[in-house]
Amino acid sequence: MKKSFTIAVFEGDGIGPEIMAPTLDILELLQNDTSKYRLNFKKVPAGANEYLKSGRALPDKSLEIAKSSDAILLAAMGLPNIRYEDGTEISPQIDLRKELVLFAGVRPVRVMTAAHSPLKIPQDKVIDFVLIRESTEGLFFTQGKGEVEANEARETLRITRNISEKLFNFAFKLAKTRKTLNQGKGDVICVDKANMFRAFAFFREIFEKEAKNHSDITASSAYVDLMALWMVQKPWELDVLVTENMFGDILSELGAGLMGGLGVAPSADIGLDNAVFQPCHGTAPDIEGKDLANPIAMISSAAMMLEWLGLKFGNQYLCEDAAKLQNSIDIIMHDKNNLTQDLGGSATTSQTVAAIQHSLTSQIKP
């Protein structure tokens, strides 16, 4: 059983360092018994401030460390006032997805406390589904390279068989794992616009072919506009959704809204060899340095990392600690005194972190 893991840590810009530091403290608190596992953190520079300093937003050395690590923990990168010369935003997190071929953007939509959701959730219903956003191609294929002329602009949507097969295989396997763990009913929906675009009919055809290899999982397809409606009307019926990059970008923000906002929405970008765990939100420069950032999305992303490492390397202690950490977050979210302003509370980042640490300590020390 593998016990020692290298974790590449990107603190990034804006509120990034403010939410990463307490996340690493919490991970240190969890790994008090080194006979079970050890996470070795390697901080690596990247982002808008790094671009100002060195002229490189993602230095080669940082990419190299990320590639050879067991997992990558990332806060947020990019700042509105620091841009490349052509005016485009600095987003090394997107470069990482492309470089490491992290095709599966995993966005769990789990409503921990009904009071934080804008929906009226019936008492017997639970919102717990996962949106998988393809993260290397789709309408982001020509990102930063679109053609703009005086009276016309063009971007290309690209769907490949190779990536789509990997993506759908990932989605069915995730549905299987969720079913085994009693988290889902074993159901995958392909979200597309196959009635309007040939590229999406191609996407759906590959999905239907892959579905034949997973007869224990129910497979169906839905148009993206209808899915937007279902996510609001009956999100408790959903299990695993899989979609193209741009559709996934938009729907995952809707999913974050259902959960109570960006401050609580975690994510992972997963490929065959590497995985990045990061909150769905950006660098939030408007609240930088004020101790106001909600650290929950970042800490939940770290819990996702522990579970992924545990399942990948067969170390059950990591899975147990992932559950303990997520449970601690769920517990503290019931008390408004523990919540930051974005969730209607008045706690500072440090106070929310202290509450999670307190809850965690009572679970790890008998």
By beta-carbon proximity to ligand ATP, the closer residue of 227 and 256 is 256
| Angle at the Cα of 322 from the Cα atoms of 319 and 325, rounded to 5 degrees | 150
Residue, CB closest to ligand ATP: 282
By beta-carbon proximity to ligand ATP, the closer residue of 201 and 262 is 262
Residues ≥6 apart with Cβ < 8 Å to 343:
116, 260, 261, 263, 264, 294, 333, 336
Tell me if residue 266 falls in helix, strand or coil. strand
Of 116-155, which residues contact ligand ATP (CB under 6 A)?
A: none
Q: How far is the CB of 20 from ligand ATP (least distance, A)?
A: 12
Locate 329 and state its tokens: 């977050």
If binding is defined by CB under 6 A, does position 97 make contact with ligand ATP? no
Side-chain half-sphere exposure of 164, counting CA atoms within 13 A: 23
Identify the bridge partners of residue 133 per DSSP, sorted by sequence position.
105, 243
By beta-carbon proximity to ligand ATP, the closer residue of 222 and 264 is 264
Of 258-297, which residues contact ligand ATP (CB under 6 A)?
A: 262-263, 281-284, 286-287, 293-294, 297
By beta-carbon proximity to ligand ATP, the closer residue of 164 and 267 is 267
- Strands (DSSP E) along 149-300, which ranges? 153-154, 187-192, 218-223, 240-243, 266-270, 275-279
Locate 123 and state its tokens: 């008492």
Element (H, E) at 310: helix 296-313
Q: How far is the CB of 250 from ligand ATP (least distance, A)?
A: 12
By beta-carbon proximity to ligand ATP, the closer residue of 294 and 300 is 294
- Give the count of residues interacting with ligand ATP (CB under 6 A): 14
User: What span, in angstroms and rounded, lies between the C-alpha atoms of 66 and 192?
Assistant: 32
Residues at the interface with ligand ATP (CB under 6 A): 78, 262-263, 281-284, 286-287, 293-294, 297, 340, 342
